[in-house]
Amino acid sequence: MRYSQFFIPSLKEDPKEAVLQSHKLMLRAGYVRQFSGGIYAYLPLGYKSLKKLENIIREEMNNAGAIELSMPFVQPLELWKQSGRDKDYGKELLRFKDRQDRDFCLAPTYEEAITDLVGKNVHSYKELPLTLYQIHLKFRDEMRPRYGLMRAKEFIMKDAYSFDIDSEGLDESYRKMKKAYTNLFKRLGFDFIFIKADSGEIGGSYSEELMVISEYGEDKIAICNNCGYSASLESAVSAGNFPEPLKSCRQPKMTKLATPDKKTIEEVSGYLKIDAESFAKTIIYESEIGFIAAMVRGDREINEHKLKKIAEVKELNLAKEKDIENITCAPCGFAGPFGLQNIKLIIIDEEIQAQEYWITGANEKDFHMANVKPGRDFIADITADIRTVKDGDICLRCAGRLNVKNTIELGHIFKLEEKYSSVMDAGFLDEKGINKHFVMGCYGIGVGRTFQALIEIFSDENGINLPVSVSPFAVSVVSLNPNDENIKNIADKIYSDLLKSGIDVLYDDRKLSAGVKLKDNDLIGIPMKIIIGNKTIKENKFELSIRKTGEKEFYDNLEDLYARIKEFSLIDGFIK
């Protein structure tokens, strides 16, 4: 491909709408363009690279015995009424009508479609097990799309669905697919981990998320450095700090401490010169059953997911400042667990119950209270684990330490069991002639997200730096003086030689200054450059510049140069 005839609108400056390095680079390198929040076009260069990634995914899926198909992106809403998910999905499901006034939606996922399809076309246990997959669009009307392809409304996903005769079969299909994921993400060079997850809207009995560890990730997980325990921060548990009760017979009474204008734990702890661990914070929430007070140690955060489950509520929000003033009879920042008005539940963390004395708010402006004793000065309705795991916490299973890390969720695999096949009545006859529902699994990979995550990893200050197996081109021929007849002839020849030998080559024949061309070729992520200019031509040498290392190699003849390019092209190279 000649650069001058291709379409690569590169940008010299960072676009202001992008914040992640990968997002900036995809825009600058002319890989993608945004049309609306969360809606992107893949430009030729990005599309070419994306297709290479898709083909690697395809290979691993096919190796695992999955079969590719493509289902409709526009779906009759009726399908979603059958499963009942038209209601569950809410506003994420984009609905519209056709000219006959029939209801349709853009597919946010494909469980209904595949269950319908297989239900209508598979009738016997002899045709099972079966795993089908596709790589194409999904649309979710996200409340907040962001970070480029990382969270888009319209996005590309690989989704696979397995159909088995029983749970044992599902276990086997699930195991195979998990193995395929492991192979794939290892091959792509990611540092990843599976964690057990909530099944969310998709549902089912068991699910695991494939998390890639990245400082730019939006999700936090906790990993034990000893036993390998891992969980999302929402569900992670750690061993609490439960000190031995003091032996002393003295029972100090609650004592007021003046803390003028000191509201946050940090401020009070700094003012009184006492560790945050000695404080208990009291947070007021509002829920559909009324106000709830929750307490954790001063240096900790409340885990609202745990709190919701314990309190058995669906809605949980921090109470408004006005309500807090009414409940605690003090301005926000001085709440304590005693004498609270209009509180339905007091829920305290196990650590609060376990320690004898705490410093809390005094429910009075500019005062805190010392020697507050659980059970004496206030009574909790429920004591439970409602704390968020902190980096360095002790693992509940072993003596190891928990590390909290940022991650990006690139895959999610589910055991659906009969969730969809039963509501949609999709099944088969078993060997005894009895009607059974399919036992299903589903397996997703965010392809666009994975693509961007690759660029996040494989890039540097000069631009995108992808390995050959996913780079848009393997090599570029950069003609520094396209007006020089001699140089032009040599560059033309090398270009056509490489084309003939099947190398994916970009020929930068533009009549621009040398610097622009070299910078562009670095930016857009071409792993190798053959640089043709007077300097090397005079010495009868051919120069190959390796993008990853910045090293320059010189060859006396074209055969050696071509051999080197072929050799380099064969390396998968997903090693940083």
Partner RNA sequence: CGGGAUGUGGCGCAGUUGGUAGCGCACCUGCUUUGGGAGCAGGGGGUCGCACGUUCAAAUCGUGUCAUCCCGACCA
Residue ranges in 290-349 that form contacts with RNA under rule CB under 7 A: 304-305
Structure token pair of residue 278: 């000695």
Query: Is 10 a binder of RNA (CB under 7 A)?
Result: yes
Q: What's the Rg (C-alpha) of the chain?
A: 30
Between residues 250 and 314, which has the closer beta carbon with respect to RNA? 314
- 482 counts as binding RNA under rule CB under 7 A: yes
Q: Which of residues 190-219 bind RNA (CB under 7 A)?
A: 198, 200-202, 209-210, 218-219
CB of residue 513 to RNA, shortest distance in Å: 4
Contact 261, 366 (CB under 8 A): yes
Residue 36 vs 100, nearer CB to RNA: 36
> Applying CB under 7 A, does 485 fall inside the site for RNA?
no
Q: Which H/E stretch holds residue 438? A: none
Closest distance of CB 201 from RNA, Å: 5
Q: Which of residues 55-114 bind RNA (CB under 7 A)?
A: 92
User: Pairing between strand 505-508 and 475-479?
Assistant: parallel
Restricting to residues 420-439, which ones interact with RNA according to CB under 7 A?
A: none
CA 272 to chain centre: 42
- Residue 452: name the closest of 20, 7, 1, 3 by CA: 20
The nearest distance, CB 571 to RNA, in angstroms, is 21
Within 509-548, which residues bind RNA (CB under 7 A)?
511-516, 518-520, 522-523, 529, 531-537, 543, 545
Residue 15 touching RNA (CB under 7 A): yes
Tokens (6 digits) for 381: 């309705």
CB of 373 to RNA, least distance (A): 32
Residues 128-157 close enough to bind RNA by CB under 7 A: 140, 142-147, 149-153, 155, 157
Q: Which is nearer to RNA, 351 or 509 (CB)?
A: 509
For residues 167 and 169, give the distance between their C-alpha atoms in angstroms, rounded to a whole number: 5
Q: Which residues contact 273 (CB under 8 A, 6 or more apart)?
A: none
**Contact call for residue 466 and RNA (CB under 7 A):** no
Among 2, 11, 69, 270, binds RNA (CB under 7 A): 11
Q: CA 421, 204, 169: angle at the middle one, nearest 5?
A: 65
291 three-state secondary structure? strand
Q: Which whole-number Å values give the CA distances from 311 to 289, 314, 315, 337, 345, in the listed order?
A: 9, 9, 10, 17, 8
Within 404-423, the residues that bind RNA by CB under 7 A are 409-412
State in angstroms the smallest separation of the CB of 539 from RNA: 9
Instruction: Identify whether 243 is preceded by a cis peptide bond (ω within 30 of 0).
Output: no
Specify the stretch interacting with RNA by CB under 7 A; choose among 179-187, 341-349, 382-390, 445-453.
445-453
Strand order in the sheet with 255-258: 255-258, 367-372, 358-364
Q: In angstroms, what is the minimal distance from the CB of 553 to RNA?
A: 11
Please, what is the minimum distance in Å from the beta carbon of residue 209 to RNA? Answer: 6
Which one of residues 44, 481, 504, 553 is an interface residue with RNA (CB under 7 A)? 481
CA dihedral 159→162→163→168, nearest 10 degrees, is -150
The candidate with the shortest Cα–Cα distance to 193, out of 160, 232, 154, is 232
